[in-house]
Structure 1
Amino acid sequence: MEIIEKAPAKINLGLDILGRRPDGYHDLAMIMVSVDLNDYVTLTDWPGDEIILESNNCRMPLNERNDVYKSVCLLREKYGIKRGVKIHLEKKIPICAGLGGGSTDAAATLRGLNQLWQLGLSQEHLRNIGFEIGSDVPYCIEAGCSLVTGKGEVVEPLAVDLSSWAVLVKPHFGISTRTIFKEIDPHTIQRVDITRLAAALLANDYPQALAYMGNSLEDISISKHPFIQKVKDKMMKAGADIALMTGSGPTVFALCANEKRADRVVNSMKGFCREVYKVRVLS
């Protein structure tokens, strides 16, 4: 039996840091939305109990350092499963880009194994398991547009119709999320009103939603990598409705209400950055 799961990238329309928790983690409030840039996870039964992980990307670790591999091990441990599996990971999402590539691959693996091994786990159960792998995995189990709070474990799908285009630009460098979070000062960090952003999205008020979009981590990442600001400025000059960093960066996305405007942004970024993607927002 073979299962193929699509693993879409995500962008943060809003990311706010509410404060530091006693356990050292941060309380977050985010609105994430999927975009049509996908990895593909193909899962096949394999004789014995061996885990075989393959990928088209030579930069991907194919062992326990990969979140796909971790997902298999975690499910097998929790449910006493002895079956083997062969997984092919077709990478399209840039690595270390703030687009949730590792998390969405893990989520796709959990969904696929739930079918392949006929575990009958609910979405809520899969989200709880996913949170043990990474804080973005619970959202990626759901995908679409969601309000995400807590440490990432609380996911509330939002019924919105954000029919826009997005242009993603991945600079030549990567950013470690852990490094950026170490720099957070909750007293001075820029704030984003996630409640008002959610209300504007639910009302399908695109101009108002643009006004409330933002990312609390931008200032920190830009201070370390000023090139991110150059990307944002160039996108806005080309006619983007908004240009924001996603996650802890370095990828910047531009939202455009129509494809013609998105094409102008794409053309302006060609030659400036090697990795440029025009995608639809999947709300």
Structure 2
Amino acid sequence: MEWIERAPAKINLTLDVLFKRDDNYHELEMIMSSVDLADHLTFTPLDEDTVEVFTNKAFLPVDRRNHVHQAAKLIKKEYDIQTGIRIEIDKKIPVAAGLGGGSTDAAATLRALNRIWNLNLSTDQLIEYGMRIGTDVPHSIIGGTAFVSGRGESVRPIAPVPPCWIVLAKPRLSVSTKAVFRALEVEQLSYKPTSRIVERAIEANDYEGMVQNLGNALEYVTFQRHPQLAQLKERMLRYGMDGVTMSGSGPTIIGFSQNYSRAKRVYNSLRGFCEEVYITRTIKNE
């Protein structure tokens, strides 16, 4: 028997860095939302005591470097599972894009194995395991739109994003999240946190208030290293998107519009400038 699990990408409407903690991690506040761009994972139980991971992207590792492999091995070890699992990843989310592709695949693995192996784990337990794999995993376990804080472990669902179209544009470059945070000097940030403002706007179904306060504290570092991303953001604004920001540590730039024809026009204009461009929408909370 096979199980299929959908793993949606996430976007950051905001990413606020408040301070550097005593444990050398940064205290964050973020508004994150799942979008209708997703990987699909197929799970097949095996009699052999093994974890097998396959993917349609030849360049992706399928060993312990892969978040899916880590999640499956973690659960097997924690609960002394003596049988195995084969996991096939149909990858649609751009890799190393700031869209949480590896994290959402890990979250899908935790959700699926919880059912397949009849573990009856609570959401809080799944989040605890997810944090051992990556800080974006907890949000991906819950999904939808949420206020996320701490290192990413605190996820509080909020109202859905007001109806709109979202254009995602990922240039052909990779950004190291660890390197961006290492280079970030919080005391030099002129960026003012906006997560709570955007939360209030979303709860009030105030689209204008939402798009006017999008923001990402990491743009300061990522744009310095990759000026073409700042140019891409300006281009999307010039083309008519209502609001534009960077997702995660980049490099994906995301733009919002309530007008589909305008979003489609921006999508078409960017395709000659950017290799991976998508139009999507947010997914409502379950």
Map 1:11-50; keep pairs closer than 5 Å: 11-50=11-50
In the TM superposition, residue 49 of structure 1 has moved relative to its aligned partner by 0.5
1:278 corresponds in structure 2 to 279
1:187 corresponds in structure 2 to 187
Q: Is the 8 A contact 1:9 1:34 kept in 2?
A: yes
1:144 corresponds in structure 2 to 144
| SS of aligned partner of 1:187 | helix
Q: What is the distance in 2 between the residues matched to 1:93 and 1:113?
A: 22
| SS of aligned partner of 1:179 | helix
Map 1:76-225; keep pairs closer than 5 Å: 76-189=76-189, 190-225=191-226
2:63 corresponds in structure 1 to 63
1:135-155 per-residue CA deviation (whole Å, 9 max, x = no partner) reads 000000011100100111000
Q: Is the 8 A contact 1:192 1:212 kept in 2?
A: no
Q: Is the 8 A contact 1:48 1:83 kept in 2?
A: yes
Q: What is the distance in 1 between the residues matched to 2:246 and 2:116?
A: 36
> AA paired with 1:245?
M
Q: Is the 8 A contact 1:9 1:101 kept in 2?
A: yes
1:87-145 per-residue CA deviation (whole Å, 9 max, x = no partner) reads 00110111111000000000000011111111111112111110111000000001110
In the TM superposition, residue 162 of structure 1 has moved relative to its aligned partner by 2.1
Q: Does 1:232 align with 2:233?
A: yes
Q: What is the distance in 1 between the residues matched to 2:127 and 2:214?
A: 26
TM-score after normalising by structure 1: 0.98
Q: Is the 8 A contact 1:234 1:268 kept in 2?
A: no
Q: Is the 8 A contact 1:45 1:84 kept in 2?
A: yes
Q: What is the distance in 2 between the residues matched to 1:110 and 1:150?
A: 21
Q: Give the CA RMSD over aligned residues.
A: 0.9
TM-score after normalising by structure 2: 0.97
Q: Is the 8 A contact 1:17 1:191 kept in 2?
A: no
